[in-house]
Structure 1
Amino acid sequence: MTHDDQPTPPSTLMDVARLAGVSPSTVSRILNGTARVSEDKRQAVLAAIAQMNFAPNQMAQALKKGRSMTIGIVVQDISSAFFDENLRGIDDGLKGTGYASVIVSGHWNPEEEAERIRLLLGRKVDGIILLSGRMSDEAVRAFSLQRPIVSTGRELHTRSALGIKLDNEHGAWMATHHLIELGHRRIAFIAGPPNNIDAEERLAGYRRALREADLPFDPKLVVEGNFIESGGLLAINHLFETQQQFSAVFAANDQSAYGVRLCLYRKGIRVPDDISLVGFDDLPGSSYTTPPLTTIRQPLYEIGLLSTNALLRLINGETVDTQVPPLELIVRETTRRVR
């Protein structure tokens, strides 16, 4: 390698200060936003930074502030399309912030969620996003005394912990009310797993819609599922095996609805001609089912983005006031008026 081929050594903060005609401490304070200098001096430093293509060592700056520039994310099921949308929003929210993420799974187990959070705290993350889960509010508040936490699916508001919760009960009411408006009177409900707050609230919304329409609640039309496709398939099979009569099905989430749809297809039952079907979530694949699924849209991507912005504010010691986007009924082609 000739002398001309030697790589140019990186510019230093001292080089920038020399070119701008200021002290190195002034350059440092301008970079971290704490300098009180004239606009001319600020512009001289910025011009020197651009001319010398100076890139400050972000990790060194973070360490000086006592930060790792990482956040922890506790997801319940890494393979779920539901959490994929949350994670996409989180990823976009971190762009340009200098933060990286560490993702672990809690598997809907409160003890495992707590163990995962302890692991993240041991790695010195600056904050944690807990996506759903079954950990108690008290446990989340206790962990937040060590690092700020934003948790979805719960109502929580302290100086270091924030909950972001959607109105599942109202969403389920909208889904059931939509079917009632179409003339359906026998509406089966594929519920979520027991001891799951989202599942409980969606069952409550289903029951409220029936009650307000003066329709009887028939427990034989409610079958427990598990929020995945196989659970939806097994639940609808149970309804047929017990010879229940119904003209519509409300599945407590889209993945359950996919299982219901497969069972109906195998039995030669047409959707929506014979049976109408509604889901809950509006996962990306729900636009492409056959036929496209009517569902309740959860703003999953937006919740991920909102969680990230809220956590970064908590990390910086700022107050947070979140405006949670509303749920929305998305009418596609799996529902129709009763003939």
Structure 2
Amino acid sequence: MNDHSTPPATLTDVARRAGVSPATVSRILNGTAKVADDKRQAVMAAISELNFAPNQMAQSLKHGRTMTIGIVVQDIASPFFDEILHGVDDGLKGTGYASVIVSGHWNADEEAERIRLLLARKVDGIILLTGRMTDATVLGFAAQRPVVWLGRVLRTKRAIGFALDNELGAWLAVRHLIEMGHRRIAHLAGPADNRDSMERLAGYKRALKEADIPFDPALVAEGNLQEAGGLMAMNRLYDSQHPFTAVFAVNDQTAYGARLFLYRKGIRVPDDVSLVGFDDLPGSSYTTPPLTTIRQPLYVIGQTAVQSMLGLINGEEVEGTIPPVELVVRETTRRNR
């Protein structure tokens, strides 16, 4: 059977269809310069119409790039990281870059080993989604490839880091409960060696202090940032028989576990106990009842990480700013009677 298929489209064909120069098409594909939106849209439309597939190997050889970005997460199964990765994936669309995702499992040595693995595969940059490595270790890796780090504030030519204000978020959550008339406010904390958890504990304490409410260590129970840990922490708090009317959970997953425990005990939320989480995961709008929580712009964080990385790769000035946290009031909190 004869092959009557048309030859594959070339970069010149795309340029002619879009009404731009081949150099403009190349810049858009490589992300090496800013291009007007109308030109970018025309080029992307031409690429789709012509089913154009750039020769990635040739581009890599020409520019000394593999067009891959390493992404280090801590728990691939976590809905927290899943939402950030959604933003990363959408941020990479149309850039010509692909991601290589590995997990550090909240272990500094494993994080470093995974980064060395990514470097051996010649990725063009590394995005760290939180982690436990020291600043010095990360800056050492940044000497080899650009690094974007969520969870720490960094500003160098080779590395940029941005962090959410965990203490402010916790303060907003506890202040909301105080304004609803609660004074016996429990806290389901995260691990003591987790930076985010400790900052949120500090925000909890600050809100109590500002309201002249004594801090009671008996009202703090430690979990592991996961649903099962939230259930067990709530169990310990309940068994301690120290009275409380509200609970601030270190994250939404912990709040989910706490909610299940309260349900099993016949304790109504929010009629008997108010509950606040932290993260605003997609599922928090659909819990029963919908969860009051602190919103982290997780999807935007993923997109910002990609934009910052492409800027570092191209030697541009990078700001890497993200929206602030905010309180989202739903149906798990009510005025204390």
Structure 1 counterpart of 2:198, from 197, 200, 217: 200
Instruction: List alignment gaps of at least 5 residues for structure 2.
Output: 29-42
Q: In the TM superposition, what whole-angstrom CA distance separates every residue of 1:221-266 from its partner, at most 9, and x where no partner exists? A: 0111110011111111111211110000000000000110001000
The structure 2 residue matched to 1:173, chosen from 171, 174, 180, is 171
* Residue 54 to residue 72, structure 1, CA distance change in 2 (3 Å): closer
| Count of aligned residue pairs for this structure pair | 317
When normalised by structure 2's length, the TM-score is 0.89
Give the aligned residue type for 1:241. D
2:318 aligned residue (317, 320, 329): 320
SS of structure 1 residue aligned to 2:155: coil
Deviations 1:195-224 (A, max 9, x none): 111000000000000000000000000111
Partner residue, 2:40 = none
Pick the aligned partner of 1:164 from 157, 162, 165. 162
User: What letter is aligned with 2:251?
Assistant: N
Return the letter of the residue paired with 2:270. P
- What SS does the aligned partner of 2:278 have? strand
**Does the aligned pair in 2 maintain the 1:236–1:263 contact within 8 Å?**
yes
User: C-alpha displacement at 1:99, in angstroms?
Assistant: 0.3
Provide the rounded CA distance (Å) in 1 between the counterparts of 2:290 and 2:25: 51
Match of 1:131 in 2: 129
In 1, are the aligned partners of 2:279 and 2:296 still within 8 Å (CA)?
yes
Counterpart for residue 244 of structure 2: 246
Q: Deviations over 1:57-78 (max 9, x none)?
A: 2331232110000000000000
Match of 1:61 in 2: 59
Question: Which of residues 313, 326, 329 in structure 1 aligns to 2:327?
Answer: 329
1-structure distance, mates of 2:164, 2:172: 14
**TM-superposed deviation, 1:54:** 6.4
* Contact preservation (8 Å) 1:278, 1:293: yes
Contact 1:59/1:69, CA 8 A, preserved across alignment: no
Cα 1:240–1:56 shift into 2, 3 Å:
closer
Matching residue of 1:9: 7
- Read off the aligned partner of 1:105 and give its amino acid letter: S
Q: What is aligned with 1:260?
A: 258
Following the alignment from structure 2 to structure 1, what is the Cα–Cα distance between the partners of residues 254 and 244? 17
Instruction: Output one character per residue of 1:40-86: Cα deviation in whole Å (capped at 9) or x when no partner.
Output: xxxxxx9xx99988654233123211000000000000000000000
Structure 2 residue matching 1:303: 3-state secondary structure: helix
What is the aligned partner in structure 2 of residue 24 from structure 1? none
In the other structure, the counterpart of 1:224 is: 222
Instruction: Report the residue type matching 2:304 in the other structure.
Output: L
Task: Decide whether the 8 Å contact of 2:73 with 2:130 is kept in 1.
Answer: yes
Shift, 1:164, TM fit:
1.3
Is 1:97 matched with 2:82?
no
Q: Is the 8 A contact 1:164 1:307 kept in 2?
A: no
| TM-score for the superposition, normalised by structure 1 | 0.88
Give the counterpart of 2:279 among 278, 281, 290: 281
Q: Which residue of 2 aligns with 1:22?
A: none
What residue is the counterpart of 2:290 in the other structure?
292
CA distance in 2, matches of 1:33, 1:153: 32
Which among 93, 115, 118 is matched to residue 116 of structure 2? Answer: 118
Structure 1 pair 54–242 and aligned structure 2 pair: CA distance change class (3 A): closer
Report if the CA contact (8 A) 2:252-2:280 is conserved.
yes
Residue ranges of structure 1 left out of the alignment (5+ in a row): 20-26, 35-45
Q: 1:155 to 1:239 in 2, by over 3 A?
A: same
**Structure-2 separation of matches of 1:28 and 1:182:** 62
